C-alpha cells in the first residue's frame, strides 16, 4: 500500500473512528489523551530538547497515515503448553485479556512520535507469560508491516523468559512503542533488534516497569536505518527490582543512532546497570543520552552506567551525555563514558600474534561487543546477533 | 577542642555585617535601559566605541531568553527592574591605604586584607561595590612591565590593548548574562603580562557587594603574552542583606603561545546572591590555563569556567569544588573545547550537598574534526550528606575526531560508614569525624590554594558542617 503523508487533517474524530464503537472506553480515552499530547508538540527540529544533536537535514519526519501493524509471534510448542498467550494487541484489549487498560497509559517522556503511535496504533502485538512459567525457548516477534507497531509484554510473577523483537521493515518512517511489565520475582530478557533499510527513519520508545525482586535485562541492538532512535525507560518500582540495560550499535555510511536511556530508581533497595557500546565507521554518528534518577527515599539504590565508543574512521562522530539526578543520600551511583580509537597497544599485541592489522581490528571490535552479548545471558539470542554484526566487521577488516 | 568552641559561636554567616555606607557619591536609579547605560558611560568618560558596545549589548540582553536548561524557578525570582546597575562609593580612588575612606577600610579590615597585604601578596585591587577604591602594586611588578589595574583605569590608560582584546573571548551575545555585564560593566581587573615575564607572586583582588539590591558587574581581562606566567586570585565575601542581589561578572583570559595563566576563585557570597558568571579562556599554542574554582556561598551560582584550546599542544585544567546547603543551588561545571590537535584537558569536580542543598555539575568536552591526539579526562565526585539534598551530573561529550582519548567518570555517594567508624574509633565525635572526612574530600582543591585561603576554607567548612549530623 503506498504510504501517504498526512498533515493536520487528522482530528479527534479520525482517531475515534480508527476502531469504531466497540472499542473499550478506557482504551479510547488513552488514545485520545495521547493524541492531544501529539497535537501539543511541534515536529522536532534542531532546537527541540533531546533532538539537538540529531542532524535532521534530508530527513522527512512528516507522520505517515495510520495503517494496521502486524507481527509474527513464534512460540515453541513446549512453551505454548505452558500457557503463553500471544495475539494482536487490539484482540487482547477487545476480549478483556488485557484487562488493566491503565497499563496502556504510556511511558514517561511521551515525545511527538511515541504519542502518535499511542494514539494511532492498530493491530499490534501482545504476549503474556503466565505466573511461574519458565520458558524453554526464546519468543520471537517479527514486525511484518505497519508504521506504528505497538507491543505489550507481561511476564507474570516468578516467570522466566527471553523475548526478541525484530524490526526490519523498509519504510520511510516507523514509530514503535513497547511496554514491558515485569511482575514480582520474574526474570525477563528482552532484545530489540533493529535492522531496517538504510532509507528508514525508525523510532522505538520502550518503557518497562519492574516489580519486587524482579529482574529485567534489555538489549538494544541496532545496525540499520538512516536515523535510528530509541528511548529506553526502565522504572524500578519495588525493593529488590533490578535492571541491566545493554546497547550495541554498529554504524556505517551516514547512519545516525540516537539513544536515550532512563534508569529510574523509584524504590529503595534497587539496582541498575547499563552498558551501551558503539563502534562507528565511515561518517556514522552516535548520540547517547542517559539519565539515572534516584528518587527521594530510594535509599540503598545502586546504579551504574557506562557508554563506550570506538571510532573506526576519521569521519565518525560520537556524542555522549551521561547524567545523574540523585535525591537520596544512601546510594552508590557511578557513570563513565569513553571515546577513542582502537587501542594501539591491544592492536600491537594482537598483531604480535601474527594477525594482520585488519583482522586484529576486527577481533578487537568483536571482543568489544562480546561483553554486551555475555551480559545478556542468553546465548541462543546473542549468537544470532553476533552473526548479524560479523559481515560488517569483515567489511571493516577488508578495507 | 576547637570544634566544640566553634559550635558555641553564632552559626550564621561569618561575614554577616555590613557598613552603613550611605555616602554613595553616585547611584543610578533602579532598573536598566538605554538611559542608564548612557549615564554610566558618560560618568566614566568612555570612548565612543565602548559606549556603542554597551548599547549594543543591552539590546542583546533585552532580546535573549533565559537559558532553558537552567534552574528557572530560582532565576525567575530575579527582578531586573529592582536592581541598581551602577554606583560609586567614593569619587577618588585611593592610591595608598591611608587615602581609603574609613568605613570602607573597616570592611576590609574584617576581611583580613591588610594582613594579606602585609604578607607576600604583590598587588591588591580591592573592589568596593562597582569601583576600585584601593589599588597598590609592588615596585618590582612595575619594573617588569606588568600592567595591573582596575578595568576602568585600563580603558583610560591602555585603550589600545583593551580594545584589541576586550570581548574577543566572550562576546556579548554569548549568553543573557554576558550581555547584561557587557552593557553595565564596571570595575574588575586588568592584567597584561609582557612576553617572557614570570610573575612569581599571586595577584589578588577582593570583591564585595555592599549596597542592597546592588548588582556587581565586574569585568576582568587577563592577557599573558608569549611565554609569560601569572596567577590571579579572586575571593568574594558579601555582607548580609534581606533582598536579592545579582552578581554577574565576565572574565576573559588570553594565554598566548607558551603562556601559563592560573586563575583562583573562592566564591562565598551571602546566600541571597545570584552569582551568574561567564568565565572563559583562550589557550594558544602550548599555552596552559588553569581554573581553580571554589563555590561555597550564593543562592544560585551558574558558572562554567571554560578553556578554548585553539593552538596545538595547549592544555586546560579545571579543579573545582562546590558546597551547597539549605536554599542553595551550586550549578557549576566546565567546558573544554578542543579546536587544535594534541590538546589536553583535565576537569576535576567535587561537590557536597547538605541540608536540602543542590549541586549540579554541568560540563562540555568538545573535539572538532581533525583534532587528532586530543586527550581529555573528566572526573566528578559528589557527596550527599542527608536524604533531603540533591546532586545532578550533566556532562556532555561531542567528539568529532577519531584518534582521541576521552574519558569521563562520576560518582555520587554518601560519607562511608566504614570511614566514619574508623575516624570515630580514634575518639572523635560524629560531627568532627564528618568534618574531617569532608575536608579530606576537598583536600586536592585546598592544597592548590595559598595558605591564608586554605585556612579560611577549612574553617568555613567546619562552620558549615556544624549541626549537619543529627
pLDDT tens-digit profile of A190-205? 999 999 999 999 999 9
Q: Taking 60 as the threshold, does the pLDDT of residue B214 lie above it?
A: no
The dihedral of CA B193, B194, B198, B200: what is its sign? negative
pLDDT, residue B383, reads 93
Q: Taking 70 as the threshold, does the pLDDT of residue B218 lie above it?
A: yes
B419 contacts: CB under 8 Å, gap ≥ 6: B437
Whether A152 and A270 share a structural domain: yes
Reported confidence tier of residue A226, pLDDT bands at 50, 70, 90: very high
Residue B403 contacts A, CB cutoff 8 Å: yes
Minimum CA–CA partner of A331 in chain B: B413
Nearest to A119 by CA among A157, A147, A100: A147
The answer to the question of residue A266 being in a domain is: yes
Minimum CA–CA partner of A317 in chain B: B400
Total number of residues shown for chain B: 470
Average pLDDT of the segment spanning A219-241: 97
Distances (CA, A) of B343 to B88, B335, B363: 43, 14, 18
* Residue B148 region by backbone torsions, left for phi larger than 0, else alpha for psi between -120 and 50, else beta: beta
Whether A355 and A267 share a structural domain: no
The answer to the question of residue A321 being in a domain is: yes
The dihedral of CA B140, B145, B148, B149: what is its sign? positive
Residues of A in contact with B389 (CB under 8 A): 327, 329
pLDDT, residue A90, reads 86
Q: Taking 50 as the threshold, does the pLDDT of residue B213 lie above it?
A: no
Mean residue pLDDT of chain A comes to 90
| B349 strand-pairing partners | B320, B380
Residue A269 CB neighbour total at 10 angstroms: 17
Q: In terms of residue numbers, what domain contains A357? A: 346-399
Nearest to B230 by CA among B251, B208, B203, B209: B203
A359-382 per-position pLDDT tens digit: 888 899 999 999 999 999 999 999
Measured in degrees and rounded to the nearest 5, phi and psi for residue A109 equal -105, 80
Q: Which three cell numbers stand for residue B136?
A: 597598590
A84-103 per-position pLDDT tens digit: 999 999 888 877 666 555 55
Number of domains in chain A: 2
Give me the residue from B400, B407, B413 closest to A338, CB to CB: B407
* Residue A168 region by backbone torsions, left for phi larger than 0, else alpha for psi between -120 and 50, else beta: alpha
Mean residue pLDDT of chain B comes to 82
The answer to whether residues A292 and A306 touch, using CB atoms and an 8 Å cutoff, is no
Chain-chain contact of A311 with B404 (C-beta, under 8 angstroms): yes
Give me the residue from A314, A321, A323 closest to B402, CB to CB: A314
Whether A124 and A86 share a structural domain: yes
| B137 strand-pairing partners | none
Chain-chain contact of B399 with A319 (C-beta, under 8 angstroms): yes
- CA B27-B32-B35 angle, to 5 degrees, is 80
Nearest to B358 by CA among A296, A256, A206, A236: A296
The answer to whether residues A159 and A130 touch, using CB atoms and an 8 Å cutoff, is yes
The answer to the question of residue A4 being in a domain is: no
pLDDT, residue B110, reads 52
3 state SS of A277: strand
Minimum CA–CA partner of A279 in chain B: B402
Contact pairs from chain A to chain B, CB under 8 Å:
117
Reported confidence tier of residue B208, pLDDT bands at 50, 70, 90: very low
Lowest mean pLDDT across A62-66, A261-265, A278-282, B310-314: A62-66
Whether A223 and A367 share a structural domain: no
Chain-chain contact of A329 with B410 (C-beta, under 8 angstroms): no
Whether A254 and A185 share a structural domain: yes
Higher-scoring residue by pLDDT: A80, B117 = A80
Give me the residue from B393, B397, B409 closest to A339, CB to CB: B397
How far, in whole angstroms, is CA A173 from its chain's centroid? 16
Whether A94 and A168 share a structural domain: yes
Whether A389 and A277 share a structural domain: no
Chain-chain contact of A334 with B412 (C-beta, under 8 angstroms): yes
pLDDT, residue A152, reads 94
Lowest mean pLDDT across A90-94, A241-245, A289-293: A90-94
Which residue is listed with cell 585561603?
A: B453
Beta strands A125-129 and A139-145 are unpaired
Give me the residue from A330, A332, A335 closest to B410, CB to CB: A335
Distances (CA, A) of B45 to A5, B19, B27, B51: 63, 29, 16, 9
Residue B401 contacts A, CB cutoff 8 Å: yes
Minimum CA–CA partner of A336 in chain B: B409
What's the CA gap between A285 and A264, in Å, rounded? 27
The answer to the question of residue A1 being in a domain is: no
Residues of A in contact with B392 (CB under 8 A): 323-326
pLDDT, residue B125, reads 47
Average pLDDT of the segment spanning B168-175: 96
Q: What is the 3-state secondary structure (H, E, C) of chain B?
A: CHHHHHHHCCCCCCCCCCCCCCCCCEECCECCCHHHHHHHHHHCCCCHHHHHHHHHHHHHHHHCCCCCCCCHHHHCCCCHHHCECCEECCCCCECCHHHCCHHHHHHHHHHCHHHHHHCCCCCEEEEECCEEEEEECCHHHHHHCCEEEEHHHHHHHCHHHHHHHCCCCCCHHHCHHHHHHHHHCCCCEEEEECCCCECCCCEEEEEECCCCCECECCEEEEEECCCCEEEEEEEEECCCCCCCEEECCEEEEEECCCCEEEEEEEEECCCCEEEEEEEEEEECCCCEEEEEEEECCCCEEEECCEEEECCCCCEEEEEEEEEECCCCEEEEEEEEEECCCCCEEEEEEEEEECCCCEEEEEEEEEECCCCCCCEEEEEEEEEECCCCCEEEEEEEEEECCCCCEEEEEEEEEECCHHHHHHHHCCCCCHHHHHHHHHHHHHHHHHCCCCHHHHHHHHHHHHHHHCCCCC
Give me the residue from A319, A321, A341 closest to B403, CB to CB: A341
Residues of B in contact with A336 (CB under 8 A): 407-410
Average pLDDT of the segment spanning A8-26: 77
Residue B345 contacts A, CB cutoff 8 Å: no
pLDDT, residue B143, reads 87
What's the CA gap between B364 and B305, in Å, rounded? 11
Q: Buried b / exposed e across B48-66, counting CB within 10 Å, b at 16+?
A: eebbebbebbbebbeebee
What's the CA gap between B349 and B320, in Å, rounded? 5
Residue B265 contacts A, CB cutoff 8 Å: no
Beta strands A139-145 and A70-74 are antiparallel
Q: Above pLDDT 70, what percent of chain B?
A: 76
Q: From the CA of B414, how many Å to the nearest CA of chain A? A: 6
Reported confidence tier of residue A232, pLDDT bands at 50, 70, 90: very high
B354-377 per-position pLDDT tens digit: 999 999 999 999 999 999 999 999
Whether A282 and A360 share a structural domain: no
Residue A9: is it exposed, middle or buried by C-beta count within 10 angstroms (0-12/13-18/19+)? Answer: exposed
Chain-chain contact of B399 with A332 (C-beta, under 8 angstroms): no
Q: Provide residues of A within 8 Å CB-CB of chain B.
A: 49, 53, 296-297, 299, 309, 311-341
Higher-scoring residue by pLDDT: A261, B273 = A261
| B362 strand-pairing partners | B333, B394
Instruction: Name the percent of chain A in helix, strand, coil, to the closest 5.
Output: 25, 40, 40
Reported confidence tier of residue B138, pLDDT bands at 50, 70, 90: low
Q: Which three cell numbers stand for residue B207?
A: 570583591
Nearest to A190 by CA among A213, A215, A164, A209: A164
Residue where a domain terminates, one of A300, A320, A341 = A341
The answer to the question of residue A143 being in a domain is: yes
The answer to the question of residue A92 being in a domain is: yes
Nearest to A119 by CA among A197, A195, A39: A39
Which residue is listed with cell 548588582?
A: B215
Average pLDDT of the segment spanning B172-189: 93
Reported confidence tier of residue B242, pLDDT bands at 50, 70, 90: very low
Q: From the CA of A354, how many Å to the nearest CA of chain B? A: 24
Chain-chain contact of A335 with B390 (C-beta, under 8 angstroms): no
* Residue A363 region by backbone torsions, left for phi larger than 0, else alpha for psi between -120 and 50, else beta: alpha
The answer to the question of residue A309 being in a domain is: yes
Reported confidence tier of residue A319, pLDDT bands at 50, 70, 90: very high
Whether A352 and A298 share a structural domain: no
Lowest mean pLDDT across A253-262, B200-209, B229-238: B200-209
Q: Taking 50 as the threshold, does the pLDDT of residue A244 lie above it?
A: yes
Chain-chain contact of B392 with A326 (C-beta, under 8 angstroms): yes
Distances (CA, A) of A190 to A270, B126, B217, B381: 19, 63, 55, 33
Average pLDDT of the segment spanning B263-282: 89
Q: Taking 80 as the threshold, does the pLDDT of residue B323 lie above it?
A: yes
Whether A350 and A334 share a structural domain: no
Rg, C-alpha atoms of chain A: 21
What's the CA gap between B37 and B61, in Å, rounded? 12
Whether A80 and A167 share a structural domain: yes
Nearest to A342 by CA among A389, A370, A308: A308
pLDDT, residue B5, reads 37
pLDDT, residue B68, reads 87
- CA B93-B98-B104 angle, to 5 degrees, is 65
* DSSP secondary structure code for residue A396 in this structure: H
The answer to whether residues A223 and A392 touch, using CB atoms and an 8 Å cutoff, is yes
Residue A353 CB neighbour total at 10 angstroms: 8
Whether A318 and A350 share a structural domain: no
Minimum CA–CA partner of A299 in chain B: B387
Minimum CA–CA partner of B405 in chain A: A340
A115-145 per-position pLDDT tens digit: 999 999 999 999 999 999 999 999 999 999 9
Lowest mean pLDDT across A13-27, B160-174, B315-329, B424-438: A13-27
Residue B76 CB neighbour total at 10 angstroms: 10
pLDDT, residue B456, reads 67
What's the CA gap between B396 and B381, in Å, rounded? 16
What's the CA gap between B316 and B347, in Å, rounded? 8
The answer to the question of residue A101 being in a domain is: yes
Chain-chain contact of B413 with A333 (C-beta, under 8 angstroms): yes
| A321 strand-pairing partners | A289
Residue B378: is it exposed, middle or buried by C-beta count within 10 angstroms (0-12/13-18/19+)? Answer: buried
Q: What is the ipTM of this complex?
A: 0.83
Residue B18 contacts A, CB cutoff 8 Å: no
Measured in degrees and rounded to the nearest 5, phi and psi for residue A242 equal -135, 150
How far, in whole angstroms, is CA A86 from its chain's centroid? 20
Chain A interface, best mutation among B70, B72, B392, B397, by max A CB count within 10 A: B397
Higher-scoring residue by pLDDT: A123, B470 = A123
Query: Within 13 Å, how many C-alpha atoms sit on residue A263's CB side?
Result: 35
Q: Which three cell numbers stand for residue B293?
A: 574554582
Amino acid at each position: 500500500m503506498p504510504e501517504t503523508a498526512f498533515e493536520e487533517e487528522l482530528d479527534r474524530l479520525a482517531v475515534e473512528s480508527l476502531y469504531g464503537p466497540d472499542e473499550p472506553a478506557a482504551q479510547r480515552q488513552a488514545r485520545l489523551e495521547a493524541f492531544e499530547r501529539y497535537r501539543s508538540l511541534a515536529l522536532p527540529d534542531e532546537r527541540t530538547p533531546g533532538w539537538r544533536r540529531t542532524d535532521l537535514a534530508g530527513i522527512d519526519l512528516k507522520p505517515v497515515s495510520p495503517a494496521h501493524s502486524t507481527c509474527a509471534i513464534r512460540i515453541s510448542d513446549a512453551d505454548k503448553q505452558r500457557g503463553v498467550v500471544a495475539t494482536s494487541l487490539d484482540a487482547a484489549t477487545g476480549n478483556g485479556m488485557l484487562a488493566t487498560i491503565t497499563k496502556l497509559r504510556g511511558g514517561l517522556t511521551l515525545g511527538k512520535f511515541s504519542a502518535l503511535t499511542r494514539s494511532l496504533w492498530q493491530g499490534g502485538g501482545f504476549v503474556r507469560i503466565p505466573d511461574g512459567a519458565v520458558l524453554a525457548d526464546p519468543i520471537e516477534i517479527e514486525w511484518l508491516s505497519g508504521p506504528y507497531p505497538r507491543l505489550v509484554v507481561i511476564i507474570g510473577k516468578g516467570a522466566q523468559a527471553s523475548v526478541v523483537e525484530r524490526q526490519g521493515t523498509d519504510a520511510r518512517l516507523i514509530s514503535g512503542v513497547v511496554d514491558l511489565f515485569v511482575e514480582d520475582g520474574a526474570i525477563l530478557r528482552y532484545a530489540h533488534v533493529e535492522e531496517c533499510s538504510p532509507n528508514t527513519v525508525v523510532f522505538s520508545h520502550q518503557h518497562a516497569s519492574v516489580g519486587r525482586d524482579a529482574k529485567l535485562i534489555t538489549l538494544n541492538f541496532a545496525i540499520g536505518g538512516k536515523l535510528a532512535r530509541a528511548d529506553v525507560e526502565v522504572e524500578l518500582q519495588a525493593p529488590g527490582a533490578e535492571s541491566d540495560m545493554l546497547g550495541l550499535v554498529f554504524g556505517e555510511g551516514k547512519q545516525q543512532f540516537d539513544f536515550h536511556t532512563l534508569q529510574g530508581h523509584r524504590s529503595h533497595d534497587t539496582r541498575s546497570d547499563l552498558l551501551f557500546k558503539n563502534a562507528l565507521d565511515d561518517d556514522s554518528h552516535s548520540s547517547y543520552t542517559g539519565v539515572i534518577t534516584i528518587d527521594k527515599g530510594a535509599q540503598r539504590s545502586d546504579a551504574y552506567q557506562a557508554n563506550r565508543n570506538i571510532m573506526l574512521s576519521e569521519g565518525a562522530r560520537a556524542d555522549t551525555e551521561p547524567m545523574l539526578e540523585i535525591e537520596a543520600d544512601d546510594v552508590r551511583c557511578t557513570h563513565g563514558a569513553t571515546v577513542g580509537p582502537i587501542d594501539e597497544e591491544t592492536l600491537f599485541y594482537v598483531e604480535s600474534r601474527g594477525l594482520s592489522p585488519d583482522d586484529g581490528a576486527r577481533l578487537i571490535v568483536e571482543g568489544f561487543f562480546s561483553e554486551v552479548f555475555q551480559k545478556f545471558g542468553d546465548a541462543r539470542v546473542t549468537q544470532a546477533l553476533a552473526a548479524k554484526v560479523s559481515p560488517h566487521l569483515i567489511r571493516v577488516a577488508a578495507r | 577542642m576547637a570544634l566544640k568552641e566553634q559550635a558555641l559561636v553564632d552559626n550564621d554567616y561569618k561575614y554577616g555585617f555590613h557598613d552603613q555606607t550611605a555616602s554613595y557619591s553616585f547611584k543610578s536609579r533602579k532598573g536598566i535601559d538605554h538611559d542608564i547605560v548612557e549615564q554610566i558611560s558618560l560618568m566614566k568618560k568612555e570612548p565612543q566605541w565602548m559606549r556603542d558596545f554597551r548599547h549594543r549589548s543591552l539590546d542583546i540582553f533585552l532580546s535573549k531568553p533565559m537559558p532553558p536548561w537552567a534552574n528557572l524557578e530560582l532565576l525567575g525570582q530575579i527582578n531586573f527592574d529592582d536592581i541598581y546597575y551602577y554606583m560609586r562609593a567614593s569619587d577618588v580612588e585611593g592610591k595608598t591605604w591611608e587615602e581609603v575612606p574609613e568605613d570602607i577600610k573597616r570592611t576590609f579590615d574584617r576581611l583580613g586584607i591588610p594582613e594579606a597585604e602585609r604578607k607576600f601578596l604583590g598587588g591588591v585591587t580591592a573592589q568596593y561595590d562597582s569601583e576600585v577604591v584601593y589599588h597598590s602594586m609592588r615596585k618590582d611588578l612595575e619594573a617588569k612591565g606588568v600592567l595591573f589595574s582596575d578595568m576602568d583605569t585600563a580603558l583610560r590608560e591602555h585603550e589600545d590593548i583593551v580594545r584589541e582584546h576586550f570581548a574577543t573571548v566572550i562576546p556579548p551575545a554569548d549568553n543573557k548574562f554576558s550581555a547584561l555585564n557587557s552593557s553595565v560593566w564596571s570595575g574588575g581587573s586588568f592584567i597584561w603580562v609582557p612576553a617572557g615575564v614570570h610573575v612569581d607572586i599571586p595577584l589578588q583582588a577582593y570583591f564585595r557587594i555592599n549596597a542592597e539590591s546592588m548588582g556587581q558587574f565586574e569585568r576582568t581581562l587577563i592577557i599573558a603574552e608569549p611565554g609569560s606566567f601569572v596567577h590571579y586570585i579572586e575571593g568574594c565575601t558579601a555582607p548580609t542583606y534581606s533582598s536579592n542581589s545579582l552578581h554577574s561578572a565576565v572574565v576573559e583570559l588570553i594565554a598566548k603561545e607558551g603562556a601559563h595563566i592560573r586563575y583562583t576563585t573562592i566564591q562565598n557570597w551571602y546566600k541571597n546572591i545570584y552569582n551568574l558568571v561567564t568565565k572563559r579562556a583562550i589557550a594558544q599554542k602550548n599555552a596552559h590555563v588553569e581554573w581553580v574554582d571554589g563555590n561555597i556561598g550564593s543562592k544560585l551560582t551558574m558558572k562554567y569556567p571554560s578553556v578554548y584550546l585553539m593552538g596545538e599542544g595547549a592544555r586546560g585544567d579545571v579543579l573545582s569544588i562546590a558546597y551547597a546547603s539549605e536554599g542553595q543551588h551550586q550549578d557549576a561545571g566546565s567546558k573544554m573545547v578542543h579546536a587544535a590537535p594534541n590538546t589536553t584537558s583535565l576537569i576535576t569536580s567535587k561537590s557536597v550537598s547538605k541540608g536540602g542543598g543542590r549541586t549540579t555539575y554541568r560540563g562540555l568536552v568538545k573535539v572538532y574534526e581533525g583534532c587528532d591526539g586530543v586527550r581529555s579526562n573528566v572526573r566528578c565526585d559528589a557527596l550527599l550528606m542527608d536524604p533531603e539534598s540533591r546532586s545532578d551530573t550533566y556532562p556532555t561529550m561531542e567528539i568529532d575526531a577519531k584518534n582521541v582519548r576521552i574519558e569521563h567518570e562520576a560518582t555520587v555517594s554518601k560519607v562511608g560508614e566504614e570511614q566514619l567508624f574508623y575516624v570515630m574509633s580514634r575518639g572523635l565525635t560524629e560531627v568532627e569525624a564528618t568534618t574531617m572526612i569532608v575536608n579530606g574530600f576537598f583536600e586536592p582543591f585546598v592544597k592548590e590554594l595559598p595558605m591564608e585561603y586554605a585556612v579560611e576554607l577549612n574553617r568555613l567548612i567546619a562552620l558549615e558542617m556544624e549541626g549537619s549530623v543529627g
